[in-house]
Structure 1
Amino acid sequence: MKVLLYFEAQKLIAQSGIGNALRHQMAALEAVGIEYTTNPKDDYDILHINTYGLNSRHVVAQARKAGKPVVYHAHSTEEDFRNSFIGSNQLAPFYGKYLIGLYKLGDVLITPTPYSKQLLRNYGLTQPIYPVSNGIKLSKYQPNPVKEDKFREYFHLGSKEKVVISVGLFFIRKGIDDFVKIAALNPDVRFIWFGHINFATIPAKVRRIVKHDHPANVEFPGYITGDIIEGAYSGADAFLFPSREETEGIVVLEALASYQNVLVRDIPVYDGWLEDGVNVLKAQDVTSFNSKLQKLLTTDNQAMREAGYATAAKRSIPQVGQQLKAIYESLLQ
């Protein structure tokens, strides 16, 4: 069995969640011994497609013509397109119809969570839909004092200075507006938001937030990889993720795998696997976020962090590989 993992415009999506998904899918198939290619000109048995451009549609048409089964990975929904790019809210209904047209081309659909599966069912899609986590490389995010020191040195953090991090694109959907409001309530704490996007694609309000409409204790260092971000995940005092809509949230898994204190917005995608006070804390608005954050910064949350790690461990790359293998084998049978 050989699988074509197709991701259109790989360089453009490298810094996004879908870019992470590519790396995780490759690792998952390697973990279970499944041969794969990313070149649509190679021979293959199953197309596993992840992107939505015109080339993606062309690759699906080629697979159909050759009689090869198609797995469409539904990373995106109309809901998580809103409150992102300039004009996204106006375009969202049309984008949703476009996605439905593409997803109908799949023999089966894969989507990260039961929540996103329900959204797809609400669109009227009838083929089998499998919730499969995007997965997490547990070993990559194990707490490491050397990486943590590099993180603190890079940002010139004092030995006792509290720091709260987040990771994501500069979108209102990701809660960047609430992030800076919470920071304003905590002037003695450093707040660092990792991530970047082309400023020309985002609304002026968000550009202003990143450039100057934020308190002095907030930093936007851009997209950083390697030891510094990995050290930040485990070396920070809390991971604050006020996103308003996700299909899973790979960065949440990364924080959980780092034994970090995790604070998320109470939204449906987390129902059934993230429980307030058990493996994360959840909040609804700036006031409750601030209250919960104070708890994370001032109390011992070891049991919650360990429960969070156990949650991430259930979504390890080898386990994702086994789930993908079962789906592929069912298609070939």
Structure 2
Amino acid sequence: MRIAITTDAWQPQVNGVVTTLTRTREELIKMGHEVLMVTPEGRRTVPCPSYPEIRLALFPRRSVTRELRAFAPDCIHIATEGPLGMAARRYCLSNELPYTSSYHTQFPEYVRARVPIPVSWTYAWLRRHHRHSQAILVPTEAVQTQLLRRGFQRVHVWSRGVDTDVFKPDVAHDFALPRPIWINVGRVSVEKNIEAFLNLKLPGSKVIVGDGPDKKRLEALYPDCHFAGYRFGDELAAYLAGADVFVFPSRTDTFGLVMLEAMACGLPVAAFPVTGPVDVVDDGVTGVLNEDLAHASEQALTLDSAACLRQARAKSWQAATLQFAERLAPCTDAATAGSIDGTYSRNRV
């Protein structure tokens, strides 16, 4: 099939959404599909407020229309709700084409962490954006339940995988720091709740791998913690393998791909019992979930790394991509697919 995937999140951004879409494209190509990625690359963009590393396309409707018409996809997937996603949605509705979409991040909670916009308002906008999607793909059953309770329809699970050829415990970084080593990997920003980790009273050393808008501020506030900046591929795997516990303080992630990557390196996880960790971590086996994050961290230190390896190795990108492909809505079904009642309207935008 010819599959078009539209996303506002793309390289050189470093996050779970970009990793998921990159690996999904690779697996789809291995399966024999032809894939078009409609991304901000090569377009006029502006930095996203408070996230300059995220570039938002300016007025992309015409260019998105040209790309999709030229490619003539059999299936269209809208991965994000930004300018490119909205342009692709309008194209599908205007041409009476079915499409699928995905929900990667708890966007309403992210917005609320930065500006005083009620979460209910943002969810209302998201329901409208996804209303005509033939399948809204989410990473876990917990997120599926959450969206269904908020009035979304046709919500299906599209799981995630981990590259165990890269993320493995074979080579461990020597931190030359007092142990145990407590590590966190991800975007250094307010919605990741990193200060909940940095404030923990724990023995040994805390390491933060990643970058983001809060990095300089947190470095100044927590001089005893170690900020390593971005690390990628084998180097990131070595950092994980060289630590003792992966501490994941986020309360807003829908999945938390980095937890799987940590477990693939033999690292148990300490996290809050919230959406994301509850679907990724086997509590008491591959990590510990507790509202007392310090207690969770100390208990995770006692767990067997072999269990972490077994769980991570059971999660493949091939299996995740098969889930994705099975939910796609072929454009040849446009005559009967449409919206909830089986019809489209050019005015439904």
Residue 240 (structure 1) shift: 0.8
What secondary structure is seen at the aligned counterpart in 1 of 2:221? Answer: coil
What secondary structure is seen at the aligned counterpart in 1 of 2:189? Answer: coil
> What is the alpha-carbon distance in structure 1 between the residues aligned to residue 29 and residue 162 of structure 2?
14
Please list the CA deviations of residues 238-285 of structure 1 after superposition, one character each: whole Å capped at 9, or x if unmatched. 111122232111111111222212211122444455332122112212
For the Cα contact (< 8 Å) 1:32–1:318, is it kept in 2?
no
> What is the alpha-carbon distance in structure 2 between the residues aligned to residue 139 and residue 247 of structure 1?
25
Question: What corresponds to 1:313 in structure 2?
Answer: 313
For the Cα contact (< 8 Å) 1:166–1:193, is it kept in 2?
yes
**RMSD between superposed Cα atoms in Å:** 2.6
> What is the alpha-carbon distance in structure 2 between the residues aligned to residue 276 and residue 29 of structure 1?
33
Question: What corresponds to 1:261 in structure 2?
Answer: 268
What secondary structure is seen at the aligned counterpart in 2 of 1:140? Answer: coil
- 2:194 aligns with one of 165, 169, 176: 176
Q: How does 1:1-333 map to 2 (within 5 A)?
A: 1-8=1-8, 10-11=10-11, 14-39=13-38, 40=64, 41=67, 42-78=71-107, 80-81=109-110, 84=113, 86-87=114-115, 89-90=116-117, 92-126=119-153, 128-145=154-171, 148=172, 151-152=173-174, 155=175, 157=176, 161-182=179-200, 184-186=201-203, 189-199=204-214, 208=217, 210-216=218-224, 218-271=225-278, 274-285=281-292, 289-297=293-301, 299=302, 301-302=303-304, 305-328=305-328
Please list the CA deviations of residues 57-102 of structure 1 after superposition, one character each: whole Å capped at 9, or x if unmatched. 1112213334432110111335542564x31x43544332222221
How many residue pairs get aligned? The number is: 303
For the Cα contact (< 8 Å) 2:73–2:331, is it kept in 1?
no
Residue 226 (structure 1) shift: 2.7
Please list the CA deviations of residues 192-235 of structure 1 after superposition, one character each: whole Å capped at 9, or x if unmatched. 11122235xxxxxx864x1322251x122222223321111222
> What is the alpha-carbon distance in structure 1 between the residues aligned to residue 73 and residue 196 of structure 2?
46
Question: What corresponds to 1:203 in structure 2?
Answer: none
For the Cα contact (< 8 Å) 1:45–1:69, is it kept in 2?
no
> What is the alpha-carbon distance in structure 2 between the residues aligned to residue 293 and residue 212 of structure 1?
24
For the Cα contact (< 8 Å) 1:6–1:50, is it kept in 2?
yes
Where does structure 1 lack aligned partners over 5 or more consecutive residues? 200-205
Identity of aligned residues (%): 21
Please list the CA deviations of residues 83-139 of structure 1 after superposition, one character each: whole Å capped at 9, or x if unmatched. 64x31x43544332222221113111100011111121122122x221111322222
Question: What corresponds to 1:202 in structure 2?
Answer: none
For the Cα contact (< 8 Å) 2:246–2:262, is it kept in 1?
yes
Distance change >3 Å, CA 107–CA 318, structure 1 → 2 = same
What secondary structure is seen at the aligned counterpart in 1 of 2:117? Answer: helix
